[in-house]
Amino acid sequence: MASTEASPVRPSILVVDDDVGVRESFEAVLAKDYDLVFATQGPEALRILSSRDVNLVLLDIRMPGMDGIEVLRRIKELNEQADVIVVTAVKSLKTAVEAIKLGAFDYITKPFDIHEILALIKRVVEKQELVKEVMYLRSEVARDHRFEDLVGRNVRMQEIYTLITRIADNNATVLLSGESGTGKEVLARALHQQSHRGQRPFVAVNCAAIPAELLESELFGHEKGAFTGAIATKVGKFELATG
């Protein structure tokens, strides 16, 4: 019986070098373990990067037209987190320092040791896996604490938590109904905290406790002297919620 287990996604590498011999050397060594994409000039590399994601860019410094330093600068403008290893025949400390300042992961000169390149690539991939793991763990911690004010842990409450998560980023109005004391305000607060407005204030308003003649003032606020008894400017609930 054939296995239905998905194959692991191979890391992808964009090789940017106008030297066909260098490109062929990289292909011979890397094609077994990595998905390779090739570009011979800077503009071509930038077009590729604007249309797809790659794990790493191997970038030659000296190329016709747009040089590697300019390409590196443009790559970082496209994606500040992009990992780039600069490869060049020019043994220039100034160039190396400039590349590192622009955000290159590392710098290596030709003729290079292929084992050194492989070790560098491995470091990049391991770093990226570590970053993914940290992001995942942070999301898990955040998920564990996002409903910490809600005490229910039974199946029905888990369904409610799932529903809150699904609708939290929706701009639609949400109506929570239930008897007094069942936790409608607590759920509303949890929904607010999970939404893209979560960093703004959550303002609870008990309309039943506000006299009809003061409702407009409570919701929209008023300026000093707007009516008899308005001895000071009052910020309305809507403005408070806007933050």
Give the single-character DSSP code of 106: E
How confident is the model over 122-161, as pLDDT tens digits? 999 999 999 888 877 776 655 555 666 666 667 787 788 7
Res. 229: pLDDT tops 80: no
Sole residue written with tokens 């500040």: 80
- Let me know if 204 is exposed, middle or buried by CB neighbors in 10 A (0-12, 13-18, 19+): exposed
Cβ partners under 8 Å of residue 63, min gap 6: 16, 17, 18, 40, 41, 42, 71
Q: Which two tokens stand for residue 44?
A: 């071509």
CA distance linking residue 4 with residue 137, whole number of Å: 28
**From-to residues of CATH 3.40.50.2300 in the chain:** 12-137
Indicate the average pLDDT of the chain. 84
Q: Are 242 and 220 in contact (CB under 8 A)?
A: no
Report whether CATH 3.40.50.2300 matches the domain 12-137: yes
How confident is the model over 12-71, as pLDDT tens digits? 999 999 889 889 989 998 999 999 999 999 999 999 999 888 999 999 988 888 888 999
Res. 92: pLDDT tops 60: yes
Q: How many helices (H) and strands (E) does the chain have?
A: 9, 7
- Residue 142 confidence (pLDDT): 58
Question: For the residues 71-99, what does the mean pLDDT come to?
Answer: 85
Where helices occur in 52-181 by DSSP H, the ranges are 68-78, 93-101, 114-145, 155-167
* Structure-derived torsion over alpha carbons of residues 69, 75, 79, 81, reported in degrees to the nearest 10: -40
